Structures are given as C-alpha cells and as structure tokens.
Amino acid sequence: MSSKTTERLEFHELLQFFETHLKQQILPFWLEHCVDHEGGGFNNCVNDDGNLVSTEKFLWSQGRALWMFSSLYNDFDGDPKWLEIATPIARLLIDKGRTPDGDWFFSLNADGSPKKASQSIYVNAFCTYGLTEFARATGDSESLDVSLDSFKYVSPQLDDHSSFQTQPHPIPTGFQAHGPLMIFALVFHDLGCLSGNKDIKDRALVLAERIMTQHLKPGKKLLYEFVRPGGELVDSDIGKTIVPGHVIESMWFMARIYSHHGHSDRLKIVLETIRWHLEFGWDSDFGGISLACHADNGKAAWHMPDAKIWWPHTESLLALLQAYEINHAEWAIEWYWKVHEYTFSHFPNQQHGEWFHNLKRDGIPMIPYLKNLPVKDPFHLPRALIYSMLILKRLAGESNKVQD
C-alpha cells in the first residue's frame, strides 16, 4: 500500500496499511540486525542504520523483545517462527537474568554472564511482561512461575518509591512517580488474567486507582508525573512536570483494566484525560507531541522535553483508536488522524527500515537522548501496531455490519 497518509482511510484500509507497515517496514529490521542466533537473546544496542554498537544485553530490552515475538504469535499471525525466536530469549531471562535474591540484573554480557547489577525496577516490569506473554503463547509453566515470583518480589516495593531504583529516570527524593505505577498496573493485570489469580488483578487495580486519585487532578485537567506520596502537589519544576506520552499510554492501560472490571464510571475520565494531554502536549508550531511539558510554562524536569520521541506517538495512535472503539467520539478520530499524519510523515526510516526513535523539536532525526541506556528495541511501535490491528478488525467488522 502507498505510504501516503494524508488521505483518510477506511478502517479496513488502515488495517491493511498497518499490517503492511509491520511486515515490510518494521519486522525485517529486527530480524536482520538484532536476533542473536549464537548467544541467544537479542542485540539491543544498534544505530538507526542497523549497525551493532555494543553486544551488551539490557534486560529491559530482552523482556520487551520477548513480549513482541510472543505477541506476534498470539495476536498477529500465529506463525511458529516467532516462538522459535522467542524461546532463546525466554531461556536467557529464566536461566541467567535474575540475581540470587530474586531481582533482575540490569544487563548481561554477550555470553549471558552478568554485566551490570540491578538498578531499575522497570527491568522487573518488562521481564515479567515478556515472560507472561510467552507463557500465554506456549503454556510454559516455568515462565509463568518466574513471573509470579517476580510479582511477589516487586509488589511490596511499589508502596514506597524511595525503596527502589528507576534508571534511566531516577525518582526525585521525596516524590512518588507515575511511571512505575502505570507499567506495573498493566503488567500485574495481564499476569493476573493469565494466571487466574484474583489477588494479582486486585493489586493492579490498586495501582490504577493510585494513579487516578493521586496523580490525576481533573480540576486542572492534568496528570502530574511526580507528586508527594498520597498525591499532594509540589510547587516546583519537578512537581509541575507533565509527560503527555506517559499519560496517554497510561490511560489506555487504565481503560484495559477498568473495562475488564466493568468500571464504566472510570472510563469517561480516562478518555477525557487522553484528550486533555493531546491538547496540552501538542506542539502548535512544529507539530507532534512534546516529550515533556511544564504545568506553568516553566522548565520541565525531564530529558530533552522539546524533543519528539517515537513512543508518545505510537501510544497515542493506539489510545485514540481504543477511545474511538469505546465511545465513537468524533474528537478521538479527529485527533487520531492528526497524530497519524505527523507520525508517518516524520518517523519512518525509509532508507534503513524501522523508525527514527528520536527527533529534535523541528522533526529532524537526532542521536538517542538517553546516554545511560543506549538501546533501540522493538516494543512501543510493534505493540501499538499489533493492538491497533485487533481494534481495527473489530471496527471494520462493525462497518461491514452497518453496510449489510
């Protein structure tokens, strides 16, 4: 299909566009450059041209890659080749990924030996997330058991944000951060659903409610990245930092969780929060979603806040399709096409495949902005495409029924 995106497509056409984009633009890059057939696992330190810059294996990325290949099997085409790639990554995590006390190493050497000690709770999240999806694909009880062990290890820590590390985004002293709550709400929800463990699903709901009652301030139409434990706002640049992409991603997590529990009262504010942060985060001069903003036009306490990064845009595409499916609101489809047109005219790397992950404010590609996590991995983009295609299949089916 043509790469032209300024023309609005019907749902079945957009579905075909995404499928073609995933097959022709995204997956060949990862399959050609990053699967480590010799050492097992996934080479996650590559440039936008696919050249390998390091053989260090960040477990953050191993868990994400495992999720993608498992999800391709579960929700895309059911091709066994995805599990052939996923299985060695799962074995690397299970056999070599954990420290003696049950935490996860931050990174491994090419041969799987430990390189960097634990330094981020996000590694726990992505390894658990990947192993859960792999267990869903294969029925592998060991992967599920490791995920359950990881839940038991990390869940109590989430009640005190001073008790854990969050590299590459350290939590400022005295604050509670939105990031760990949102990712573990989703990870625990999916784990609870797969395992049938109500306590885990309930824990996910507790974390979701903490976001909705402590970080989200509906009167201000903003969700604050950092608050005092309990939800008190702080009059400082840290306290007034808003990360629109995080909020939008978080809200589709919330919609997934609240829909499962039948909490329709929460869905309305969830969808409004998506809208608020698109309006707040959109760069009216250059287009695209700013990485971070300040509630009062000060300086956001975040890496390169004016940059345009790939993941807020992929998460927005998915969140807006999900929002439209839930309530068929016209604003959701209008915003979808606004984000779509910016995204597909700026991020795809036509020369080397996949996407540029990091753009300057004016949309020009730049080197990665996180010097202490020099990775390029397959997660936000393929997840958004896979889940969006599931939604589009349903929406296209609805359209066909109306026509019939």
Whether 46 contacts 39, CB under 8 Å: no
Q: Alpha-carbon distance 2 to 27, whole Å?
A: 18
Q: What is the per-residue pLDDT across 236-271, written as a single tens digit (0 to 9) for each?
A: 999 999 999 999 999 999 999 999 999 999 999 999
User: What pLDDT score was predicted for residue 6?
Assistant: 53
Q: Alpha-carbon distance 177 to 124, whole Å?
A: 16
Whether 13 contacts 3, CB under 8 Å: no
User: What pLDDT score was predicted for residue 1?
Assistant: 31
User: What pLDDT score was predicted for residue 130?
Assistant: 98
Q: What is the per-residue pLDDT across 333-379, written as a single tens digit (0 to 9) for each?
A: 999 999 999 999 999 999 999 999 999 999 999 977 566 567 899 99
Q: Alpha-carbon distance 44 to 130, whole Å?
A: 15
User: Is a pLDDT exceeding 50 seen at residue 3?
Assistant: no
Look up residue 41 and give its two tokens.
């696992």
pLDDT-derived band at 320 (thresholds 50, 70, 90) equals very high
What domains appear along the chain, each with residue ranges and CATH number? 54-168 (no CATH), 175-306 (1.50.10.20)
Q: What is the per-residue pLDDT across 65-90, written as a single tens digit (0 to 9) for each?
A: 999 999 999 999 999 999 999 999 99
Q: What is the per-residue pLDDT across 174-230, written as a single tens digit (0 to 9) for each?
A: 999 999 999 999 999 999 999 999 999 999 999 999 999 999 999 999 999 999 999
Helix 244-261 with 264-281: angle, nearest 10 deg: 170
Better-predicted residue by pLDDT, 373 or 158:
158
Span 123-130, average pLDDT: 98
Preceding amide of 305 cis, omega within 30: no
Counting Cβ atoms within 10 Å, is residue 80 exposed (0-12), middle (13-18) or buried (19+)?
exposed
